[in-house]
Structures are given as structure tokens and as C-alpha cells.
Amino acid sequence: MDDKHQYLFIDFEFTMPEGKYNPHGFYPEIIEVGLVSVINQKVIDQFSSYVKPVKFQTLTERCKSFLHITQEQVNNGLSFVDLVDKFAQCEGTSPSTIITWGNMDMKVLRHNCQKAGVQFPFKGKQRDLSMEYKRFFGDQNQTGLWKAVQEYGKEGTGKHHCALDDALTTLNIFKLVENDKRYLAKPEPTTIGDRVDLSKLLNKFAL
């Protein structure tokens, strides 16, 4: 990680339809956000909040059961516009890279911005860590977030499908993968002086 570059690890939870058939006009909306800001390998900020949906304001039973989120929590959450303002402030403090597990988070954020008529808040590079993980390990399919961390012999942080815990777990996998990349990087070729102690060799032939 660069000394001054900011890495924003972000995870969202979304609204869900009741069954496999979406109601007319349905689209996923952000209802929970987890964000972790890292500069120079140190966590400098964490942010977590529920978010009020705009189009379909009443959560389905399936959504509440799967995510363990109540209607009251989202009713008392941030407005979507305030969430976008928060993101713009976060990125405004430093050059940033946004890192998510999968591409769905940024797709939904962009679509929600279009629906709300507000500008997409991020200008920095966006990285899908799940695709980097897939390419790095040569997997045929994309691996789920918590399965990926378990493949490293670790456990996820906190509770799966809690946005902040998933953002922290994404950060942990990022550090593990980056360490592996450095370990596997081709070292500089050694010189004969690195491989052989010349003084000992000369002394041997001097005898």
C-alpha cells in the first residue's frame, strides 16, 4: 500500500424481493453500508449505517430474515443522498482506490444514484477483489467472501452479511493476497558473490 494513498473497503446490503419473481419496477436498493478507510496500512476510519430505501420502503420478510435487519433500523437510517455525500467526503480527503468483493456493490450504487438523480460519488480506481482472487489462484468460479478467507485458514470478522464486518473481512483478504503476491514476486537475480563466500573459497585454495 502506498504511504499516502487511501484504500476504501466497502460493503453493502440490499433490499430483496419476497420470492424469485421481482415485483413490477423492483431494483435492489442499499439498506446497510460498511466502510473502512486505510492509509499506510493503518485503519484510519470505520463507518457503518443503515440506509432508508427510496423506491420500495417496506422490507420483505425474506430480506429481514436473511439479513437480520428490521424495518425500524432502516427507517432510522441515513437518507441515500446523505450516504452519497458521506462517500464524497471520504474520497475528497485523499487519492483513493475503492475495493469491494464482487462487482455488485458499485453497480447497485451507480444505479441507485441514477434513480435518485445524484452524481456517482467516487472518482478513484475501483477494484473487484473477488476477481483478483479468482485470477491469482486460477479458480474457475468466483469464491464467496467468507469461503475465501476460510481457504486461508482464517475466519471472517464478526457476522457474515453485516456490512461493516464484511468490509473488514475484505480488508483482511486483501492483506493476505497482497502478501502472497510479494512472496511470489520474482526476486532479483543473485550474483556469484551472493551465492559463494569468496573469502572462504580463496582461503581454501591458498592452503
Residue 174 to residue 121: CA distance in whole angstroms: 23
Contact status, residue 99 vs residue 127, Cβ threshold 8 Å = yes
Fold of 6-206: Nucleotidyltransferase; domain 5 (3.30.420)
- The arithmetic mean of pLDDT across residues 13-30, rounded, is 89
- The arithmetic mean of pLDDT across residues 133-137, rounded, is 86
Average pLDDT over the chain reads 87
pTM of the model: 0.84
Residue 183's pLDDT is: 72
Is 161 catalytic? The answer is yes
Active-site residue (options: 72, 151, 161, 178): 161
State what percent of residues in the chain have pLDDT above 90: 60
Domain ranges of the chain: 6-206
Q: What are 25's three cell numbers?
A: 419496477
Active-site residue (options: 13, 29, 32, 91): 13
Residue 188's pLDDT is: 55
**Could you tell me which of 29, 99, 120, 100 has the C-alpha nearest to residue 69?**
29
Chain-centroid distance, C-alpha 151: 17
| Parallel, antiparallel or unpaired: strands 42-50 and 30-39 | antiparallel
Residue 31's pLDDT is: 98
Query: What does the chain come to in residues?
Result: 207
Residue 120 to residue 203: CA distance in whole angstroms: 70
* 157-205 pLDDT per residue, tens: 778 889 999 999 999 999 988 888 777 665 555 555 555 555 554 565 5
Contact status, residue 4 vs residue 39, Cβ threshold 8 Å = yes
* 95-109 pLDDT per residue, tens: 799 999 999 999 999
Residue 13 to residue 166: CA distance in whole angstroms: 10
